[in-house]
Amino acid sequence: MQTLGLWGRTSNILVSLPYSRGTIQGLLEDSPDEAHFSAFGDLSVTLNVNLRGAPSMNREEFLAFRANPRPIIGASLKLIAPTGHYDPDRLINVGSNRWTARLKLGTALILEPSWVLELSASNWFFGDDPDFANGRKEQDPLFTLESNLIKRIRPGLWASLDVTYFRGGRQSIAGNRLDNAAKNLKVGGTLVIPFLGRHAIKIGYANGVIIRYGDDFNEVLLSYQVAIR
């Protein structure tokens, strides 16, 4: 991630290239079977821009802003390119074989000096996958609402309660409309623990509370972050 000033506003660019390794188990013609995979996923680039409340600042201005924070409004554009490994003969792949874009608008409200409420709305737009195993796959836009109640414990150390609502995303395969539109609610939490100045561990958990379409799930996230000067 690189932070920069864009049109006089605080901004950052995040580039991500995921790598996946795992095993899929299931039934193949009523017989148990499994498949192993190991490959890079799709490359994504995200641009975040603060529209109101956080102009580009030097160190002294940033410290003054942290001492007296104000509400922030920001926008985000994320693009995912079809660079990941993809096998058209398989139903499940690491790569998506299609372009994806997300537009997002959000705000951060200061409830108390150590409590922040983040609210955002976003829309995902999906390109077509012409090589899907059962025929061309198309997907309607997916709308999401997110809220994060954040407790800042000390600089760099924070925890949050996260709620996300999904709606839409109905798919068509080979011209046939599927009954798989989402209307799901996910609840979870996040904890970020800094260490050695520029390093941090992020721990997250999420549970599917309401599932209109898709599998019920319990999701655990563990990631390592480092700030490069």
Model pLDDT, residue 14 = 92
Are 189 and 161 in contact by the 8 Å Cβ rule? The answer is yes
Model pLDDT, residue 59 = 66
What one-letter code names the amino acid at 4? L
Q: Annotate the chain with three-state secondary structure.
A: CEEEEECCEEEEEEEECCEEEEEEEEEECCEEEEEEEEEECCCEEEEEEEEECCECCCHHHHHHHHHCCCCEEEEEEEEECCCCCCCCCCCCCCCCCCCEEEEEEEEEEEEECCEEEEEEEEEEEECCECCCCCCCEEECCEEEEEEEEEEEEECCEEEEEEEEEEEECCEEECCEECCCCEEEEEEEEEEEEEECCCEEEEEEEEEEEECCCCCCCEEEEEEEEECCC
Model pLDDT, residue 207 = 87
Walk across the sheet containing 171-173 and list its strands: 137-139, 171-173, 176-177
**In the predicted model, is pLDDT for residue 89 greater than 90?**
no
96-150 confidence digits (pLDDT tens): 999 999 999 999 998 887 899 999 999 999 999 999 988 999 999 999 999 999 9
Among 25-34, 109-118, 173-182, 217-226, the minimum mean pLDDT is found in: 25-34
Facing residues of 24 across strands? Answer: 35
Average pLDDT, the chain: 87
Model pLDDT, residue 21 = 84
> Residue 67: which pLDDT band, with cuts at 50, 70 and 90?
low
CATH of the domain at 174: 2.40.160
- Reference 178, options 221, 219, 147, 132; nearest CA is 132
Q: What's the whole-number mean pLDDT along residues 40-57?
A: 86
Model pLDDT, residue 56 = 67
Which domain does 217 fall in, by range? 2-226
Are 169 and 140 in contact by the 8 Å Cβ rule? The answer is yes
- Model's pTM, two decimal places? 0.77
Model pLDDT, residue 127 = 97
Give the residue with greater pLDDT, 56 vs 103. 103
Q: How many CB atoms lie within 10 A of CB 132?
A: 20
Among 70-79, 99-108, 205-214, the minimum mean pLDDT is found in: 205-214
Model pLDDT, residue 30 = 76
Q: How many domains does the chain have?
A: 1
Q: Which residues lie closer than 8 Å to 21 by C-beta, 6 or more apart?
A: 37, 38
- Reference 158, options 197, 196, 207, 115; nearest CA is 115
141-199 confidence digits (pLDDT tens): 999 999 999 998 988 899 999 999 999 999 999 999 998 888 889 999 999 999 988 89
